[in-house]
Amino acid sequence: MGVPLFDVSDLLDDRTLRGPAFCEALTARTDEDLAGIFAAADPPDGTALAAIGGYGRREQCPSSDVDVVLLHAPGVDVAAAAERIWYPLWDAGLKLGHQVGTVDQLLKVGGEAVEMATSLLAARTVAGDAELVEALAVGALDQWQARSRRNLDRLQESVAERHARYGEVAFLLEPDLKEARGGLRDVHNLLWVEKATVPILREAESAGLAAAFETLLAVRVELHRLTAKRSDQLLLELQDEVAKALDLADAEVLMSEVSAAGRTIAWTGEGAARRTRRAARRRGPARVLAGIRRQEVATGLILDDGRLELTDEADLSDPLLMLRCAVTAARHGGYLQRSSLERLADHAVPLSNPWPDEARELFVELLAVGLDAVPVIEDLDHVGLFVLLVPEWEPCRSRPQRNAYHRFTVDRHLMEAAAEASRLVDRVDRPDLLLVGALFHDIGKGYPGDHTEVGVELLQVIAPRMGFGADDADLLVAMVQHHLLLPDVATRRDLDDDGTIRQVAEAVDDPLLLRLLAALTEADSIATGPSAWSTWKASLVRELVERTSHVLGGGDVGDVVARSFPDASQQALLDEGAFTVRGDGDTLTVVAADRPGTFSKVAGVLALNGADVVEASAHSEHGRALSVFRVRQVLGGSPDWPRIEDQVDRALAGRLALSARIGDRSRTYRPIRLTARPARPTVTVDNSSSATATVLEVTCPDGVGVIYRITRAFTELEIHIVRARVQTLGSDVVGAFYVRDSYGAKVTDSEHLAEIEMLVLWSVSVDL
C-alpha cells in the first residue's frame, strides 16, 4: 500500500529542509498529490487545476492554505468532477481555498477584488489543460497592468490598513511574520507593484529584499512546524524553540535577525513607495506639477519634491558631505535619494580622531531636527554610514528589547529618545549635551554586562573622539551613568525622607547635570513606551528635581522635606479614631485599628478586584493605622468602590477568605506574559537611604496578588510597613517598602533580614 495522500510527515521530520527548500519540497509533494486526485476525478477535456497565491508562488508552509482554481473552457460541465476533486481534499483535512470558473469568470472576480487579482498573478498549472492556465495567467497580468492606477490605489489602501492593524515586524515583541509592516506580505506587495509598472527596485534593493524574505520564510516554516497551526504570530513562548530549530544561539539572536529582515523589507518598501508616488505625481495634472519644486539647496545638492540628491558638482572628497546631506534632508522634512546614498557610502571615509568642530556641530544639528531626523538616520544606518560615524553603534542595530515595557529595538529607541530630547532643549543650558546624551544613554545594551557600566566605558571613548572637551565628556559620561537615577528614586523612594534627597544631591553634585538628567528622563521614558511616562511619574520626578536643586544650590534639606504624609485631611481621619474605608477617584483610604496584616489585607482586596496599585502608603499612631492606596485601573475600568469598601470591611473583620479567593482568581486570570525573560525575583536591602526605616526593594514578575503576597510575608515576620511605592514595568513589578521591626526600629539584624528575603522570595514564586 502506498503513502497516504498529503502525508508530509517525512518532510516535517527532515530538519535539513528549511525555508525556501522546505516550501519547494512541500509544494512539489502537494502538486503530485493534487495531480493524482485530478486524474482520478476523470474531468472532461478543457479542464485544468491551477495553483494561485502563495501555493502558486511555491511558498507553501506547513499550515498554509492550498489555494487552487478549477478552470474549464466555456460550456464544459465540471460540476461532477469538482465534487470528485474537492471532497477527497476536504476528507484529507487539507486547508483549501478554491474556486471554479472559466478564465473570463475568474478574471471578472479579480477585477472586483484586489486580493483575488494578486492571487491570479501567481497562477501556474498543477494538472490538466496548461493552455487554459496560461490564458488565465496572461489575462490576469494584462488586466492588472491595464488597471494599474486603480489597482495601486487599492493596494496602497489595503497596505495602510494592514500596517495599522498589525504594526511593524522590526519593533514588535510578538510580530506577525506575514501581515505586519516589513513582513512577507510586503515583499509580495512590491512584486505586485512591479508587475503593474516598470521595475522600481534597484539591484542592491532586490538582493537585500530576497535575503530578508528568506529569513522570515525560514522562521515561518519552523513556527508552523512547531505549532501545527496557521497563525503567523511569533509568540514569546515559542521564540526559544524556533531559534533552536534554526540552530541559532537563542531567541535574542532569532529576534535580532527577524528585526533586521523586517527593517530591510520596510526600508525597501518605503523607497519603492516614494518612487511610485513621485511617478504618479509627475503624471498628474498641471496644478499638481506646479507644486513640485526643484531647487539647489547647496553646492551639489538638489532638493526635488522632498528628495535630496547629489549632482556631479558634489564634492565626494569632503568627509563632512554625509553629515551635510543628512542635515539638509532632515531640515526640509525630506529624504536622501537611494542612489545618492550609495554614492555617499562608496566614497565615505571615517572622520579624524578627534572630529573637526564642524562635524560635531553638524551631528548635533541633525539630532536637533527631531522626529524628521529619525528616517534620515535610518537611511544612513541601512547603508552602513552611521556605523562609520559611531562604530560602537553596530551591536545595537536591530537588537530587540524583549519586554513589553519597550516598544522599540535598542537603536530605534536611542533615535527616538534623541528626537524627544529635541523638544526639551530650552530646559537645559547645554542642548548639545542633552541631544548626544539621549542618543547614547543606552548604547551599552548592545554589549554583554550591565548596560550602564558598559555605556560609561563606551562614552569615555566616544565623547573625546567626537571632539568634546574633558569637562563636557565627563558630563556625557555622567548622564549615561545616572540616566536611571531620577526615575528610579522618584518612583521607588520616599521623597519626604531627607536621606533620599541627600543621596541624589551627592550622586549628581552639579545643577547643570541635574537639569540634563531631568530632561533625559522625560525623553527616555516617552521613547520607551506608553506605560513608561505618566503625569504621576512626571510629578514625582519634578518634585525630586526641585528638592535636589534646592540642596545643590546651598539650601538646607529641611527646607524642602516637609512631611506630606499624612496630609491634613488624612491626619484628621486618624485623630477622629473612627473606622473608615473610603474610595474616591483613584485612591482608597483606610483607617483601622493598628493590627498586624491590615495593610496586607487591603492590598489583597484590591488584588481580588483586579486593581493595578501604583503607590501605597502607611502610617500609624496612638493605636490607629492609616493605609492609602492609589490605583491606576481596575480590570481596565473605574473602581467599584462600594464593592471594594464592603470587602475591605469584611477582610479586616476576618470574614473574607482572601488567600483562597485570590488563589482562585490567580488560576482563572493568568496574566499574559509580555516579557521574554521575566524578572528573577530579588530582594534588595537599603539601610542608608532613610534614617528611620529600612528600604526593602522587591522585584518580581507581575501576577494576581503580588503586593498581597509580599506584605503578608512581612506580617508573618512582624515587619511593619511605613510607606510603599509600587510600579509595573511591562510584566514585571518593582516595589520599594519602607519597613520597621516590631519595636519601631530599622531592621539591621542579618539573620532577620535573611528570613525576610527567604519568605518574600518564596511568596512571590509559588501559587496561592
pLDDT of residue 768: 46
- CA distance to 369, 376, 434, per residue, from 357 (Å): 19, 22, 17
d(CA 518, CA 434): 10
Is the bond preceding 175 in cis, omega lying within 30 degrees of 0? no
Contact 294, 305 (CB under 8 A): yes
461: left (phi over 0), alpha (psi -120 to 50) or beta: alpha
Q: What are phi and psi of 50, to 5 degrees?
A: -120, 140
* 311 SS3 class: coil
Gyration radius (Cα) of the chain, Å: 32
pLDDT of residue 635: 63
Q: What are phi and psi of 18, to 5 degrees?
A: -135, 160
Cell numbers describing residue 569: 485631611
Q: Output DSSP code: residue 233.
A: B
Contact 61, 220 (CB under 8 A): yes
Contact 694, 748 (CB under 8 A): yes
**Of 329, 435, 442, 446, residue with least CA distance to 378:** 329
Cell numbers describing residue 533: 511616562
d(CA 762, CA 88): 56
- DSSP per-residue letters across 20-62: HHHHHHHHHHHHHHHHHHHHHT-PPSSEEEEE-HHHHTT---T
Beta bridge partners of 67: 97
Question: What domains can be seen in the chain, in order of their start residue?
Answer: 9-146 (3.30.460.10), 150-282 (1.20.120.330), 568-765 (no CATH)
Contact 616, 599 (CB under 8 A): yes
Q: Are strands 682-686 and 694-701 parallel, antiparallel or unpaired?
A: antiparallel
**Of 708, 707, 675, residue with least CA distance to 531:** 675
- Lay out the sheet containing 294-298: strands in order across: 294-298, 301-304, 307-310, 335-336
Cell numbers describing residue 375: 528616517
pLDDT of residue 678: 64
**Of 114, 101, 111, 121, residue with least CA distance to 53:** 121
Q: pTM surpassing 0.75?
A: yes
d(CA 100, CA 71): 6
pLDDT of residue 393: 97
> Residue 512 belongs to what H/E stretch?
helix 511-528
End-to-end CA distance of the chain: 56
H-only helix segments in 449-497: 451-465, 470-481, 485-492
Is the bond preceding 391 in cis, omega lying within 30 degrees of 0? no
pLDDT of residue 671: 52
d(CA 112, CA 117): 8
Contact 737, 717 (CB under 8 A): no
- Per the listing, cell 489602501 goes with 157
pLDDT of residue 2: 43
Cell numbers describing residue 332: 526640509
d(CA 325, CA 330): 9
In 622-719 the beta strands, taken as DSSP E runs, fall at 624-634, 682-686, 694-701
Q: Which residues contact 691 (CB under 8 A, 6 or more apart)?
A: 497, 498, 499
Q: Are strands 732-740 and 694-701 parallel, antiparallel or unpaired?
A: antiparallel
- CA distance to 61, 518, 749, per residue, from 65 (Å): 9, 53, 66
- DSSP per-residue letters across 396-414: GTT----BTT--S-HHHHH
d(CA 124, CA 731): 48
Cell numbers describing residue 379: 537611511
Q: Which residues contact 553 (CB under 8 A, 6 or more apart)?
A: 511
d(CA 304, CA 16): 50
* 143 SS3 class: helix
Amino acid (one-letter) located at 35: A
Cell numbers describing residue 531: 506605560
Q: Output DSSP code: residue 672.
A: P
d(CA 605, CA 648): 6
pLDDT along the chain (768 residues), means of 10: 69 93 96 95 95 96 94 94 92 87 95 92 96 96 91 88 93 92 95 83 86 97 92 92 96 94 94 79 52 76 90 92 96 92 92 96 98 96 95 94 82 97 97 98 95 97 98 98 95 87 95 98 93 86 95 89 80 90 92 89 90 81 88 76 94 91 73 58 91 91 85 92 79 86 92 94 76
Beta bridge partners of 588: 583, 629
Cell numbers describing residue 318: 569632503
Judged on CB neighbours under 10 Å (0-12, 13-18, 19+), 536 is middle
Contact 401, 730 (CB under 8 A): no
Beta bridge partners of 168: 181
* 31 SS3 class: helix
Contact 633, 616 (CB under 8 A): no
